[in-house]
Amino acid sequence: MKLTFLIVLIGVYACSAQDSSTTPSPSYTDRRCGEDLGNLWLDVVAVVDNSIGMTNGGLTSIAANIASVVSSGTRIGTNPSEPRTTRLGLVTYNKAAAIQADLNQYQSLDDVYDNVFRALSSVSTSEESYLANGLARAEDVLEAGKQGYNRTHYQRVVIVYASAYKGSGALDPVPVAERLKTSGVTVITVAYDQDGDGALLADLAKIASPPYNFTNTEDNGQVIGEIQDALLQVNCFCRNSWIQYRVSYTDVHSYRYGVCILPVGFNAVWRAAKSSCMNRNAYLVTEFDSNKHDYVLTAVSNYTGFSVPLTYHNGLSMVKGVWVWDQPQGMPQPQLQSYAGWNPGYPISDSTLTGVLNQQSSVQLQSGWQNIKPLTTGANYVCETASCDTDNYCTEAGLAEISVKH
């Protein structure tokens, strides 16, 4: 746990260190997800259509695509001393499907190059292409991969490379794709639209986890980048019962920030709420802009222990005469900048009112900040912490919500 916390600090530090080249003060934007492909930690299965329609050229291009996606330093396989590794399995399908590599076979980038190009050297003799069969084998590979390596907390991904979309009834790929997605697997699709009529793209969109339905263009480099960005987003997630901050609360597929929030439906004074968050390896929530404020409010409105008019402590407090935001222990606290969500009449100028809560008005349900006495005014509160991602490895035990007394 200590180690995990240290990594959180390093992650956050790395973030603000990057920004410090442009601004001297601590970063005033919400943390982005880790973007270090060298530290990707995922379980991925590539599912490749090798029916005649794909053509040999198409297959070679897919082999290059798969190898390139993990060529930016991603550690392949398993390593007892380094948990940030990515396992890569390979399934091919035409009329039937075959497992070319389970999740434990490739243990280096060389293994990937040698074996993926060999397995995808030429198309099969089958003109038929049943994605349902390929997805079912991928499901088997992911299931078998749960054994032995303590990786059940790794995010799982299937990347489909398809030149055709066929199948109805028992060979309809949609139910298998739904089953995968329901069990938490992200499905990325890449269309090799040999006919160019667009029908394949529309069909694959039914299989993919939005917005990860891609198409290979003349520029293979573009789709490689799109897949890498998707993998980084999938690798960015929150501990159990925490809510990830995204661009949009209602669009669950919008960009995820490397920030997780936890509404706590127990009454506490501001100072106790701050300590309670600290005990969770967290701090009181920041509201750097109106989007974040609205997001937190919406998340809170649907949470046990909160009711209208919504009231919760945030991380703003007066320290040495300036308003600053709570941060992980030991980190510099950024001063309040342009966006200030004070309710009319606030802040009240009074040296004892140094804590801040969000107070929704009972009439218009608008919500804004009010300064309060940090040791006497009780309210629910919202904690914030960094996500698990490539800059911040989370152990299986660390993913469980840490139980702390309120």
Ligand X SMILES: *[C@@H]1O[C@H](CO)[C@@H](O)[C@H](O)[C@H]1NC(C)=O
Partners of residue 357 on adjacent β-strands: 313, 370
Site stretch for ligand X (CB under 6 A), options 52-60, 104-112, 210-218, 258-266:
210-218
Among 18, 122, 150, 241, binds ligand X (CB under 6 A): 150
* C-beta of residue 241 within 8 angstroms of C-beta of residue 401: yes
We find the least distance from the C-beta atom of residue 10 to ligand X, in angstroms, to be 24
* Cα–Cα distance, 148 to 146 (Å, whole number): 7
Helix spans in 280-370 (H): 290-301
Q: Which residue of 9, 14, 171, 205 would you call a contact of ligand X, by CB under 6 A?
A: 205
Q: Which residues pair with 262 in a beta bridge?
A: 383
Residue among 149, 255, 288, 342 that touches ligand X (CB under 6 A): 149
Q: Which residue, chain included where needed, has tokens 């999740």?
A: 103
Closest CB to ligand X among residues 306, 381:
306
**Minimum distance from CB of 17 to ligand X (Å)?**
33
x-marked contacts with ligand X along 214-233 as a string, rule CB under 6 A: xx------------------
Q: Which is nearer to ligand X, 215 or 244 (CB)?
A: 215
Q: How far is the CB of 278 from ligand X (least distance, A)?
A: 26
Q: In the complex with ligand X, which residue's Cβ is closer, 32 or 256?
A: 256
Of 94, 186, 213, 281, the one binding ligand X by CB under 6 A: 213
The sign of the dihedral angle between the CA atoms of 316, 318, 323, 329 is negative
User: Is the CB of 148 or the CB of 309 nearer to ligand X?
Assistant: 148
Strand 155-162 versus strand 186-191 pairing type: parallel
Taken in order 150, 155, 161, 164, is the CA torsion positive or negative? positive
Q: Which is nearer to ligand X, 149 or 288 (CB)?
A: 149
Angle formed by the axes of helices 109-119 and 56-69, nearest 10°: 170
Please, which residue, 215 or 377, has the CB nearer to ligand X?
215
- CB-side neighbour CA atoms (13 Å) of 236: 28
Q: Which is nearer to ligand X, 190 or 372 (CB)?
A: 190
Any contact of residue 327 with ligand X (CB under 6 A)?
Answer: no
Q: According to the binding rule CB under 6 A, does residue 174 interact with ligand X? A: no
Give the C-alpha separation, 323 to 334, whole Å.
Answer: 9
> Taking the complex as a whole, how short is the minimal distance between the CB of residue 263 and ligand X, in angstroms?
11
Asked if 148 touches ligand X (CB under 6 A), the answer is: yes
State which residue, 257 or 270, has the beta carbon closest to ligand X: 257
- Tell me the β-bridge partners of 312: 358, 380
**Residue 303 C-beta: closest distance to ligand X, Å:** 8
**Which of 34, 395, 22 shows the shortest CA–CA distance to 236?**
34
Nearest distance, CB of residue 314 and ligand X, angstroms = 20
Dihedral of the alpha carbons of 366, 369, 373, 376, in degrees to the nearest 10: 40
Provide the minimum distance between the beta carbon of 219 and ligand X in the complex, in angstroms, as a whole number. Answer: 13
Residue with tokens 């809510």: 243
Structure tokens at 84: 């940030």
Can you tell me which of 72, 241, 248, 302 binds ligand X, judged by CB under 6 A?
302
The least CB distance from residue 149 to ligand X, in Å, is: 5
The contacts found for 198-206 with CB under 8 angstroms, 24 or more apart, are 199/165, 200/162, 200/163, 200/164, 200/165, 203/165, 204/160, 204/162, 204/165, 206/174, 206/177
Q: Which residues sit opposite 48 in a β-bridge?
A: 92, 161
> Can you tell me which of 14, 201, 272, 331 binds ligand X, judged by CB under 6 A?
201
Tell the smallest beta-carbon distance from residue 272 to ligand X (Å).
26
Cα distance between residue 208 and residue 388, in whole Å = 23
Q: How far is the CB of 395 from ligand X (least distance, A)?
A: 10
Comparison of 72 and 150: residue with beta carbon closer to ligand X: 150
What is the Cα–Cα distance from 40 to 77, expressed in whole angstroms? 11
Residues forming contacts to ligand X in the complex (CB under 6 A) are 148-150, 201, 205, 213-215, 302
